[in-house]
Chain A
Amino acid sequence: MVLKSVEKTRRETLAMAAIAGLAAILAPRLSLADEQAVAAEIKKLYGDKKFESGKIKLDVPEIAENGLVVPVNVDIESPMTDADYVKSVHVFAEGNPLPAVVSYRFTPACGKASASTRMRLAETQNIVCIAEMSNGKLHMAKANVKVTIGGCGG
């Protein structure tokens, strides 16, 4: 919103305040709905199992200028031996029309549980990454990406 005149009228100021207020009321509800979509996807996969933090390095840019091509790198700390390795990794985007982004299945032959790809993001949002270890333990990490130009529709 760019106001050309420095002196804002009383009416404009009130209108601005009203818009800001409305946005503040609506915004958390919108993001909550998307969070729920991701939570539902995760529940489909793993039920009500508990997630631990740590072990996951989710590397996404803080600010993505182009939502059509956003690099996403996951790196999970693991010895990657036959006895202890990362089985699968799922990446979700909370603000996309379809929350699922990518699912990886690793094997001990990988030597390192790390993979990179590029994704589309519709808007500024949180990225959720979950990792399933061979011993059944689950880990979760989140990161926020600010998107300047959305990558859906158009």
Chain B
Amino acid sequence: MATKPTPRVRVPTQAKPGELIEIKTLISHEMESGQRKDAAGKVVPRKIINKFTAAFNGKTVFEADWNPAISANPYQSFFYKAAESGEFTFTWKDDDGSDYVATNKLTVA
């Protein structure tokens, strides 16, 4: 099977107050849709990341519910309006119950 999913996040480290920043995330994951059949004709069971959450200083700012129609190695980008310094926490929830977490600091000055 595939190796442990590794998240990659691109966030600016510094921003001006009120500045709109774009956050780009990518995580390695096969996103098995549950629609595919293996060589023996059996359906490959679904295993996807079903939820992505972005929080800043513990407060949720953006959420995405992913369905099997999301491509392998899912990419997600969104925006955030910088207000204060703090830390982003990005969480990916897998069908198998595991969480993949990444954190990024943002300095607002």
Is the beta-carbon distance between A110 and B78 smaller than 8 angstroms?
A: yes
**A101 CA / B65 CA spacing, docked (Å):** 9
**A153 CA / B74 CA spacing, docked (Å):** 18
Is the beta-carbon distance between A110 and B62 smaller than 8 angstroms?
A: yes
Q: List 27 A-B contacts (CB under 8 A).
A: A70-B71, A96-B69, A101-B67, A101-B70, A102-B65, A102-B66, A102-B69, A104-B62, A105-B63, A109-B80, A109-B83, A110-B62, A110-B81, A111-B20, A111-B79, A112-B20, A114-B78, A115-B79, A117-B66, A117-B71, A118-B70, A118-B71, A120-B70, A151-B71, A152-B33, A153-B35, A154-B36
Interface SS, B side: strand
Q: Does A107 contact B (CB under 8 A)?
A: yes
Smallest Cβ-Cβ distance to A67: which chain B residue: B71
What 3 pairs between A and B have smallest CB-CB spacing?
A111-B81, A112-B79, A118-B71
Tell me the smallest distance from the CB of A70 to a CB of chain B, in Å. 8
The bracket for how many chain A residues form the interface is 20 to 34
